């Protein structure tokens, strides 16, 4: 055995930057992580209260995953045998990457794409073929198609984080149909967009659609993600690759309660879409900003040379947004999540005070 191999391996892994979580600022107006505060506290209290009644945490959650999957099946109108769950969609992505990709499999994606996904690929030394966004933050379907031949896996977050871009349904369907390897469509923000590709999993065995309760249901703290894919993959994932008890009893019971109240979630999505429009239109009224279209619960804008000043001035007033800096030809990108009407108004007023 080689001397010091363990210390060397720790050093090598330690040199990887890893996913950078946003800073924790107490009592801030939190618009930096694409969470959903438009879901009321009452919704959360009702769910947790009912979940508590149904929980006995002395026991392992035997049969719990099956009951949760059955509730997801009703919600998505997809058969239970095509649905798997995970500790957030982060964990599902990680399991897929660690078992189906390696330094010999190329992944076609966009640049930028979901930060955690990019970091995980770095960790596993998986090479990315990354297609850049155009100046108006759109992806060119032809360039994606041209690069399809060079990759074994296609990963797209649809809508994309951090740009908010989503291909038309037709374009994404065509790209998926023509791709010969594994297609992973991450619909973390799918409910805020125009469509879902879930139904295509019925006819395309190489397609996995990943979804989560973190965004549209406002339950990021619960850590509950799920996927929809062909029967054989789903069965293998849940029996062999996934942990025996991937999510807690509280998560299972809360998930079931939340899914039973999906109507309230739909109302909050309608509000978020309206607020997204208000944020885009208001930010567009300032010459200092270039504001991109969004199909998600956040808005990306380029504040050019003043982006650091805008970010810091907002932070001083207790408003947290995400500082991204350079994306393609845009030097000063900032991303703001769509919060409650009050949160969004605070953000927009602070911007007005700064620029008005």
Binding region for ligand PLP (CB under 6 A): 34, 88-90, 114, 157, 161, 186, 188, 212, 214, 220, 225
Beta carbon of residue 355, minimum distance to ligand PLP (angstroms, whole number): 28
Q: Which is nearer to ligand PLP, 120 or 282 (CB)?
A: 120
Q: Which is nearer to ligand PLP, 172 or 351 (CB)?
A: 172
- DSSP assignments along 161-174, one per residue: TTT-----HHHHHH
Q: Which is nearer to ligand PLP, 64 or 86 (CB)?
A: 86
Beta carbon of residue 56, minimum distance to ligand PLP (angstroms, whole number): 26
Beta carbon of residue 80, minimum distance to ligand PLP (angstroms, whole number): 20
Distance CA 234, CA 232 (A): 5
Strands 225-228 and 290-291: unpaired
25: left (phi over 0), alpha (psi -120 to 50) or beta: beta
Q: Which is nearer to ligand PLP, 255 or 332 (CB)?
A: 255
Q: Residue 30, SS3?
A: strand
Q: Which is nearer to ligand PLP, 216 or 344 (CB)?
A: 216
Beta carbon of residue 45, minimum distance to ligand PLP (angstroms, whole number): 21
Beta carbon of residue 212, minimum distance to ligand PLP (angstroms, whole number): 3
- DSSP assignments along 315-339, one per residue: HHTTEE-EEEEEETTEEEEEEEE--
- Cα Dmax for the chain: 67
Residue nearest to ligand PLP (CB): 88
Residue 331: C-alpha distances to residues 263, 265, 290, 313, 328 (Å) = 40, 36, 11, 18, 8
What is the layout of strands, in order, in the sheet containing 207-212? 83-86, 225-228, 207-212, 182-186, 153-157, 107-111, 128-132
Beta carbon of residue 23, minimum distance to ligand PLP (angstroms, whole number): 16
**Residue 46 CB coordination number (10 Å):** 15
Q: Which is nearer to ligand PLP, 36 or 161 (CB)?
A: 161
Beta carbon of residue 310, minimum distance to ligand PLP (angstroms, whole number): 22
Q: Which is nearer to ligand PLP, 89 or 251 (CB)?
A: 89
Q: Which is nearer to ligand PLP, 238 or 351 (CB)?
A: 238
Residue 309: C-alpha distances to residues 159, 306, 326, 332, 355 (Å) = 28, 5, 15, 10, 11
Beta carbon of residue 46, minimum distance to ligand PLP (angstroms, whole number): 21
Extended strands (E) in the chain: 29-30, 83-86, 107-111, 128-132, 153-157, 182-186, 207-212, 225-228, 290-291, 298-302, 319-320, 322-327, 330-337
């Amino acid at each position: 055995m080689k001397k010091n191999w363990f210390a060397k391996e720790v050093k090598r892994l330690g040199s990887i930057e890893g996913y950078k979580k946003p800073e924790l600022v107490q009592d801030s107006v939190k618009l930096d992580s694409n969470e959903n505060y438009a879901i009321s506290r009452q919704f959360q209290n009702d769910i947790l209260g009912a979940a508590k009644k149904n929980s006995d945490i002395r026991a392992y959650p035997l049969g719990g995953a099956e009951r949760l999957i059955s509730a997801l099946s009703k919600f998505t109108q997809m058969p239970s045998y095509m649905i798997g769950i995970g500790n957030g969609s982060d964990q599902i992505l990680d399991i897929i990457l660690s078992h189906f990709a390696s330094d010999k499999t190329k992944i076609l994606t966009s640049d930028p794409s979901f930060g955690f996904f990019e970091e995980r690929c770095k960790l596993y030394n998986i090479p990315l073929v990354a297609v850049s966004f155009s100046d108006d933050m759109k992806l060119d379907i032809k360039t994606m198609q041209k690069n399809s031949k060079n990759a074994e896996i296609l990963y797209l977050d649809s809508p994309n984080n951090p740009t908010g871009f989503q291909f038309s349904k037709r374009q994404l369907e065509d790209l998926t149909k023509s791709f010969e390897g594994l297609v992973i469509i991450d619909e973390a923000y799918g409910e805020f967009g125009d469509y879902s590709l879930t139904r295509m999993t019925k006819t395309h065995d190489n397609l996995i659609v990943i979804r989560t309760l973190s965004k549209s249901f406002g339950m990021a703290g619960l850590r509950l993600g799920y996927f929809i894919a062909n029967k054989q993959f789903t069965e293998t994932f849940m029996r062999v690759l996934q942990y025996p008890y991937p999510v807690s009893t509280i998560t299972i019971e809360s998930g079931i309660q939340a899914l039973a109240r999906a109507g309230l979630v739909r109302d909050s999505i309608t509000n978020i879409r309206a607020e997204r429009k208000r944020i885009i239109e208001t930010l567009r009224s300032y010459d200092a900003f270039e504001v991109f279209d969004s199909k998600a619960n956040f808005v990306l804008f380029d504040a050019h040379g003043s982006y650091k000043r805008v970010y810091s001035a907002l932070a001083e007033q207790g408003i947290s947004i995400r500082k991204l800096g350079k994306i393609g030809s845009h030097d000063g990108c900032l991303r703001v999540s769509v919060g409650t009407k009050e949160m969004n108004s605070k953000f927009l007023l602070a911007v007005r005070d700064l620029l008005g």
